[in-house]
Amino acid sequence: MATIKHLAIKGKSYAFPLRYLTYQYDEKTNQPILDENKHMVLRDEYLIDAIGVKSPSTFQEECENWNSQNHKNQKESEIKLHHYIISFDPKDKELGLTMKKVQAIGMEIANKFFASCQVLICTHPDGHNKSGNMHVHIVVNSVRKDAIDKPDFIERESECIAGAKIRASKLSMNAMKAEIMEICKREKLNQVDLLNPPNEKITEREYRKTQREQDKINIENAELEKDGLVPSKTEFQTEKDKIRKAIKRAIHQANDEAEFKKILNESGITVTESRGRWGYKTDDLKRTIRARQFGTNYEKEYILSKLGSIEAIRSTDNYYGKLKKKINVQNAINAADTMNFFVKNGLFSTDELREKLSVAEKEYAQKQTRKDEIWEKLNYTNRMIHNTGSILVNKRYYNAWRQTPADQKDTYETKFAAELANYRKATDDLNKDMEKYGITSMPKLDDLKAEKNVLMTELERIEAEVAQSKQSLDEMQILMNNYNKLLGKEPINKKQYEKSKDIVQENHHSPTI
C-alpha cells in the first residue's frame, strides 16, 4: 500500500536535503554516519533527479539565489522546504516494483504538482528499521520558480505567481493522494484508501518513540537476564496506547455514555467534549488528545453506536449468565486480595489505607517533580553540547570568512553557506542559554559530556523510582476501590483481622495491576 507524508522544513539549510538524500544517516539520532576519518558516508544505493534547477548538486545555490531575488525565506521561522515521502508496500516488489519504477512515479507526481518549482526527487530502496519498503522523497523549494495557470488542486490565484510562496493545503494533499491511488491501480500495486481517515491511527512520531523505548527495554532486560534476574517490564507503551486499550475495554463494559466515561475516569482518563467532538486526557499528559488523532474507532459517534449494539447482545440470557459468573469469580479474587493486603500491612480500616495512599501520592508527586527537573537540565545540557560542538566544527569557516577580502566575501559565503549558518545559529543559541543560566564563559565540551553522563545515570534511577512509586500507588488505589465496592465501605473489625491473619500465607502477594 502506498502512503504519503508531508513535512514542513523550517530550520534546516538548503544544503541539508541533498546531504540527507545521498549520505547515510542514523535512523534513531538522525545524525550523519561517519567513517574512521570522520567523513560522511554515501548511501549504498539511490536514484536522484531534479526539476527547475541545472542539477541536484546546484539545488542549494539556485534555491537560495531565487529566494534572495524575491526577498522570501529570510527568517528562520519561515517554511523553506516542503518534503513529501511516498512509501510503497514491501510486497509490491513481488508485483514487479523496482527502484526505477518508484523514481518514475516520483517524477510523475513532481511534474504534475510541482513542474514550476525547484525540486529534488530521490528514491531509496529501504525504509525505517530495514522494513523493506521502497520510497521516494520529493523536496520542493517553498518559493515558486515560474508562473502557472491555476490548477484545480491550488486554492489561491496568488500561489500561482512566480516568486510566490506555495502551501501544502488539504486540497492539494487530497489531490496527490487521489493521484497516487490511481497510479497504484494502473501499476497493479497494493493500495488502501488514502482519502478517508483510518480506523486506527498511529503517527510516525509515536511509532518511532515506541521503537526507541522498546530497544532500551530489550537492552536492559538482556543485562538483567545475564545476571539471572527476571525483567519486570518487557513491553513499552505510550500514553496513547494506554488510552486505546482502556477505551476498548470500556466499550465492552459500558451500557451507555455515562457509564463509559465513568469507567475511563476510574482508569485515570478524562473524556472531554468540544463542539460535539471528544478528546481524552490523562494526568501524565499536558494536553488533551483529540479523538480523531486515534482514528475513527475512537470518536464519539462510533463509540456510542457500539455501546448500543453491545447492549443488545447483553440482553440475551446466555451472554448475561456467563458474564455474571465471570464477574462473581473476579469479585471473589478481588475480595481475597484486598483482605490479604490489609492483614499483611496491619491495617484495620480504610482510614489507615487512605493515609497510606496519601503518603504514596505525595511521594510519587515529589519523584515526578524531580524527574522533570532532571529532564529540563538534560535538555539544556544536550543543547549546550550540540551548539558547542557545532561552533568548534564550523569555527574555521567563520574565521576564514572574516579574513577573506571584502570583494570575495559573498563568493566564500555562498560556497560555505551551510557551515557559516550553522556556526552563527549555534553561537546565537549558546549565548542565549549562557545568558539565561548565568554562565560567563564558554563551557568545555568534555565537561558537558561528563555532566550529561551523570544526568543520564540520575535520570535512569529516578525513572525506576517513579515507575515503582506509580505501581504501588495504583495497587493501593485499586485496593481502595475493591474495598469500597466489595465490602460495603465498612471498616475491617478486629475479629475479621485475626481470622484472616491465621489463613493468609506469608508470601501471598498483593493484586497485580
Q: Report how far Cα 419 is from the mean position of its chain's Cα atoms.
A: 29
Q: Are residues 242 and 373 in the same domain?
A: no
Q: What is the percentage of the chain residues whose pLDDT exceeds 70?
A: 83
Is the residue at 249 inside a domain? yes
pLDDT in tens, 194-218: 777 777 777 767 777 787 888 888 8
Task: Spell 161-199 as b/e; 16+ CB within 10 A means b.
Answer: eeebbbbbeeebbebbbebbbebbeebebebeebeeeee
- For residue 333, the model assigns a pLDDT of 57
Is the residue at 10 inside a domain? yes
Comparing CA positions, the residue from 503, 497, 513, 496 lying closest to residue 334 is 513
Asked if residues 190 and 6 have their Cβ atoms less than 8 Å apart, the reply is no
pLDDT in tens, 416-426: 888 888 889 88
Sheet holding 135-141, edge to edge: 3-9, 81-87, 135-141, 119-124, 47-51
Overall domain count for the chain: 3
Give the residue from 152, 167, 196 where a domain finishes: 196
Give the residue from 291, 315, 339 where a domain finishes: 315
- For residue 105, the model assigns a pLDDT of 95
149 has a pLDDT exceeding 60: yes
Q: Which residue segment(s) compose the domain that 375 sits in?
A: 350-499
pLDDT in tens, 435-480: 887 888 888 888 888 888 888 888 888 888 888 888 878 777 776 7
Give the pLDDT band of residue 489 (cuts 50, 70, 90): very low
Q: What is the percentage of the chain residues whose pLDDT exceeds 90?
A: 22
Asked if residues 34 and 41 have their Cβ atoms less than 8 Å apart, the reply is yes
- For residue 484, the model assigns a pLDDT of 65
Q: Could you tell me the three cell numbers for 148?
A: 502557472
Q: Are residues 10 and 156 in the same domain?
A: yes
509 has a pLDDT exceeding 60: no
Question: Which residues have CB under 8 Å from 40's CB, separation 6+?
Answer: 19, 23, 24, 32, 33, 34
Q: What is the residue-averaged pLDDT of the chain? A: 81
Could you count the other beta carbons within 10 Å of the beta carbon of residue 123? Answer: 26
- For residue 323, the model assigns a pLDDT of 45
CATH number at residue 180: 3.30.930.30
Give the pLDDT band of residue 341 (cuts 50, 70, 90): low
- 29, burial (CB in 10 Å: exposed 0-12, middle 13-18, buried 19+): exposed
Give the pLDDT band of residue 237 (cuts 50, 70, 90): confident
Asked if residues 72 and 105 have their Cβ atoms less than 8 Å apart, the reply is no
Is the residue at 340 inside a domain? no
pLDDT in tens, 291-334: 888 888 888 888 888 775 544 344 444 444 444 455 455 555 55
Q: Are residues 223 and 282 in the same domain?
A: yes
pLDDT in tens, 239-266: 888 898 888 888 877 888 888 899 899 8
Q: What is the 3-state secondary structure (H, E, C) of 112-159?
A: HHCCCCCEEEEEECCCHHHCCCCEEEEEEECECCCCCCCCCCCCCHHH
- For residue 349, the model assigns a pLDDT of 58
Q: What is the DSSP string of 488-499?
A: TTPPPPHHHHHH
Q: Are residues 178 and 217 in the same domain?
A: no
Q: What is the DSSP string of 412-468?
A: HHHHTHHHHHHHHHHHHHHHHHHHHTT--SPPPHHHHHHHHHHHHHHHHHHHHHHHH
pLDDT in tens, 59-104: 999 999 999 999 999 888 899 999 999 999 888 888 889 999 999 9
- For residue 505, the model assigns a pLDDT of 40
Select the more confidently predicted residue: 375 or 59: 59
Q: Are residues 139 and 244 in the same domain?
A: no
